[in-house]
Amino acid sequence: MNTATGSGYLESLLREQPALPASPLAWLNRLRANAVERVGALTVPSARDEDWRFTDISPLTKMPFQPVTRAAKLEAAAIERFTLPEAGARLAFVDGVFAPELSYNRTAVTVANLATGAGRHAALLEPHLGRHAGFADNVFAALNTAFLHDGALIVVPRDVAVAGPLHLLFIATQPEAASYPRCLVAAQAGSAVTVIEDFVALQEAAYFTNAVSEIVLSDNASVSHVRVQRDSGAAFHIANCAVSLAHASRYRSVSVALGGRISRYNLNVLQAAEGAQCAIDGLALITGRQLADSHTCIDHAWPNGVSRQLHKCIVDGSAHAVFNGKILVRPGAQRTDSSQSSRNLLLTGKARVDTKPQLEIFADDVKCAHGATVGQLDAEEVFYLRSRGLSDAAARNLLTYAFGAEIIDRIPVASLKQRLESIVLAQTNH
């Protein structure tokens, strides 16, 4: 049997699904049941699917990942190095299971576990949960939705600006564990919040993280979304994030992918009303035999939308980075102003990048700029630094670091920025 496309593998992933406790919300149970049904109808994508052309996930299908039955109890000290002093709240999930003893909320807004918080916010949740990150033809989103239970629920009421960032910490501890992180952020009209999704590992194990996030911005809301994927180098990480922008709302995101043997991030931003703005930046810093794939889509569906995107990859060893950046400007989305840049640094002859800007423009009064570069370090820049006394290696390290730091710099949380800068510094030090 061909496990890469056969249904046997997906069935095996669903084995523990019936054991999930039923939700008191009937619609939520129906949502899960629909998702189970979709998993049954779909197959694991292969290289024959255009969207997965460069990303061979067959190694994933060779492992019998299952959700953990008993979550590990972690001491606070075990996650000390991941704490962010600025955070107004933290929700911690250990192998996908909510860990209240590692979580806190000092803010006045809802930052709660989905499984328990859903009831209180049911009216608000129902129109959003599972509605933005569609799973009809996305088997990983369907799997996640089938397992929808613990997760992060953030509701920021009208005109409230949350002071500190909200830290969602997903901690992997067990080999062969499958976890299905889920996140819903509802930023109501005029509100402002910074949300950090942080995927970390306590050991170098092979596990499977399959995450889905939905972020909904009402009129004039502003959300800053930081995503750090620092999984174990043996892990599989697949994530889908759907963002919906209402009138004049502003979404900024910085995604950093450092870990994972194979990682894939799909980010879909829909400008669902006039005058929405988004800036989505990304950095993949990978080495060895890692593969990091980022597929983004910015859907300009209404007039006067603005989008900015800078995606960078630093590829060392025989690693492989993939970027597919789609910009869709629908008919009528006049005066769209969009720019996209993909910049890639290959540090070895064996490193590889496949980058594809994909512009689909159906309106005529638009400004769309895009560009992609793939290359080695600039020889003139290296010489400039050497002429100031830096060794060839020091000059190269500094320039590589700087290439990545340009993205890290855009993270609006000082402690996280510093921590990532030292990771990038260490990883670019040859």
Partner 1 sequence: MIYQDSTTVLEVRGLRASVNGIEILKGIDLTVRTGEVHAIMGPNGSGKSTFAKVLAGHPAYAVTAGTVSLEGRNLLELAPEARARAGVFLGFQYPIEIPGVANSQFLRLAYNTVQAQRGSDELDPLEFDDFVREKMKLLEMNPDFLDRSVNEGFSGGEKKRNEILQMALLEPRLGILDETDSGLDIDALRVVAGGVNQLAGKDNATVLVTHYQRLLNYIVPDYVHVMDGGRIIKTGGSELALELESRGYDWVSAEYKNAARATA
Given 134, 409, 423, 425, the residue binding partner 1 (CB under 8 A): 409
- The least CB distance from residue 430 to partner 1, in Å, is 16
Sort 354 into a burial class: Cβ within 10 Å, 0-12 / 13-18 / 19+. middle
Q: Which is nearer to partner 1, 235 or 405 (CB)?
A: 405
Tell me the window of 87-95, 180-188, 314-322, 402-410 that interacts with partner 1 (CB under 8 A): 402-410
- The least CB distance from residue 10 to partner 1, in Å, is 43
406 lies in the site for partner 1, by CB under 8 A = yes
- The least CB distance from residue 312 to partner 1, in Å, is 10
- The least CB distance from residue 5 to partner 1, in Å, is 43
Rounded distance, CA 89 to CA 167, Å? 6
Collapsed DSSP state (helix, strand, coil) of residue 32 = helix
Q: Which is nearer to partner 1, 203 or 391 (CB)?
A: 391
303 lies in the site for partner 1, by CB under 8 A = no
Residue type, 322: V
- The least CB distance from residue 388 to partner 1, in Å, is 4
401 lies in the site for partner 1, by CB under 8 A = yes
CB 257 within 8 A of CB 294: yes
- The least CB distance from residue 310 to partner 1, in Å, is 11
Rounded distance, CA 315 to CA 427, Å? 11
27 lies in the site for partner 1, by CB under 8 A = no
Q: Which of 188, 256, 238, 274 is nearest to 420 (CA)?
A: 256
Q: Which is nearer to partner 1, 154 or 256 (CB)?
A: 256
Rounded distance, CA 77 to CA 32, Å? 36
Collapsed DSSP state (helix, strand, coil) of residue 253 = strand
414 lies in the site for partner 1, by CB under 8 A = no
Given 391, 418, 422, 429, the residue binding partner 1 (CB under 8 A): 391
Sort 192 into a burial class: Cβ within 10 Å, 0-12 / 13-18 / 19+. middle
The residues in 351-390 that bind partner 1, with binding defined as CB under 8 A, are 378-381, 383-390
284 lies in the site for partner 1, by CB under 8 A = no
404 lies in the site for partner 1, by CB under 8 A = yes
345 lies in the site for partner 1, by CB under 8 A = no
Tell me the window of 110-118, 226-234, 265-273, 397-405 that interacts with partner 1 (CB under 8 A): 397-405
What number of chain residues touch partner 1 (CB under 8 A)? 25
Q: Which is nearer to partner 1, 7 or 339 (CB)?
A: 339
Q: ∠ CA(2), CA(3), CA(5), 5° rounding? A: 80
Rounded distance, CA 393 to CA 22, Å? 58
- What does R_g of the chain's alpha carbons equal in angstroms? 21
Q: Which is nearer to partner 1, 249 or 342 (CB)?
A: 342
Sort 337 into a burial class: Cβ within 10 Å, 0-12 / 13-18 / 19+. middle
283 lies in the site for partner 1, by CB under 8 A = no
Rounded distance, CA 168 to CA 74, Å? 16
Q: Which is nearer to partner 1, 24 or 371 (CB)?
A: 371
Rounded distance, CA 344 to CA 146, Å? 36
Where do contacts with partner 1 occur on this chain (CB under 8 A)? 378-381, 383-392, 394-395, 398-399, 401-406, 409
